[in-house]
A and B are shown apart, each in its own frame.
Chain A
């Protein structure tokens, strides 16, 4: 899954269409099933996440972090899901 995360990161920052295609092709070529299948489904929007809503994510992080530290971090990062992803205890 780390390779998929790396791919998403690259796609998020890469402005060029051809470069994006090359990144995706390279990923699909080098990744075994079933990870590749899941990745393809995620990229094409075929996956749905019924329960992963903002409120639930807030609740989960609140159980795991100090509220003052979370609030300072959220303030700095500015995006809930990103803040949670970065703060999530290893």
Chain B
């Protein structure tokens, strides 16, 4: 500590510290360091406190310190940052090693907690993977879409709804063992703790918060921060490292008000009373959300669904989500489908299946519909911008609100979001995880398999 320099202390920021009180002065140092955070730089608070502490703790001591993600302040006094930079190594402040020559510093980097691997994010201290794309021993699953929830893991921890959805899709033996975790419940796994928090994406969807030695990492899975009558509202979880999706990670993607899109659909039904309205929507989540929103807008006619989404839709209804009268297309005759709304998986639109409808109006409910070329590609005549993913404004607002100083960006348009984070002086990196994507591709595959 005697080597501490004012300038370097001024630019130091220590996040939260998860220290065990132990060897003599160690606890005191730990306690003190926790207090040092972010106190008005330039007022010498840190410097004076260090000096005081140095007097109290003398002689060699072993101190276990775990620093959370730290980054420099905006330079309060010109060149001070430059001095501090010399001591930087990745995320942690090596400067602390120098402050106390007899202090051993054990630092914790985000990569020590969660390691991005090609098959998903792996938590080594906890011995588990999050949404692995290949079978693993222990998997924590954010939600039931088939690009995130796969069959064949040894043990699966997820919300009850996600487990139910996996069972419905993959059969009873989809995993060696299962454990249902409630939102907010803290589960201890090896050297880490994990908890699930609502992600607002589909029924049962969760963000997974992992904490190890005071460093908090949140893997968001897929999320949206707008209202959805069919699932629990997104919860903001403060963290040091935020792993965000970037499905709609370009500033051209702004989803606006989904209710307005439902209005468009209903006006079209009114105008083209003799035509069936075929609405492409993902089988898990989107289909049920569209139905629920139609009900909220006052549409009280029976709504027809494709057979592939029957099981999940009935499951939603069994979880007391009111979808009104929902019928199977299979049982309906051609004449009664005019002027009706029929929900089907996007892949069915171009299928032979769709030929049974009298001159249908083809709609597609998806965030991709914001871009014309995408809508045209699909042969859609009524694009509906309704998304279960956060749009650009949602992504950026959420990243800011988590308070994370480091952001990992996965599946989607990583480049733009990484660029945006860096422009806001957040540390950001893309994760190259193979196998996530449009759930439709995976869903189509799953349906083909089923």
Contact = CB atoms under 8 A, between A and B. Distances in A.
Given A10-B382, A76-B250, 13 more contacts: A6-B264, A13-B375, A22-B271, A23-B271, A69-B251, A73-B251, A76-B252, A77-B373, A79-B372, A86-B252, A86-B253, A86-B370, A87-B251
Interface string A20-41: 0011001000000000000000
Interface in B349-389: 370-373, 375-376, 380-383
B272 interface: yes
B419 interface: yes
A63 to B, nearest CB: 15
Q: Which interface class (under 10, 10 to 19, 20 to 34, 35 or more) fits B?
A: 20 to 34
Interface in A54-90: 65-66, 68-69, 72-73, 76-79, 82-83, 86-87, 90
Contacts of A26: 271
Interface in B240-272: 250-254, 264, 268, 271-272
Main secondary structure of the interface of A (DSSP, over half): helix
Nearest to A9: B383
Interface residues of A, number: 26
A13 B376 contact: yes
A72 B375 CA distance: 20
15 contacts: A9-B383, A10-B381, A12-B372, A15-B381, A26-B271, A68-B419, A69-B251, A69-B420, A72-B415, A72-B416, A77-B373, A82-B372, A86-B252, A86-B370, A87-B252
B423 interface: yes
Contact of A73 (B250, B272, B380): B250
Contacts of B376: 13
Contacts of B371: 76-77, 82, 86
A73 B383 contact: no
Nearest to B381: A13
A26 to B, nearest CB: 5
B35 interface: no
Nearest to A27: B271
Contacts of B416: 68-69, 72-73
Nearest to A65: B251
A84 to B, nearest CB: 10
Contacts of A65: 251
Nearest to A12: B372
Contacts of B254: 86, 90
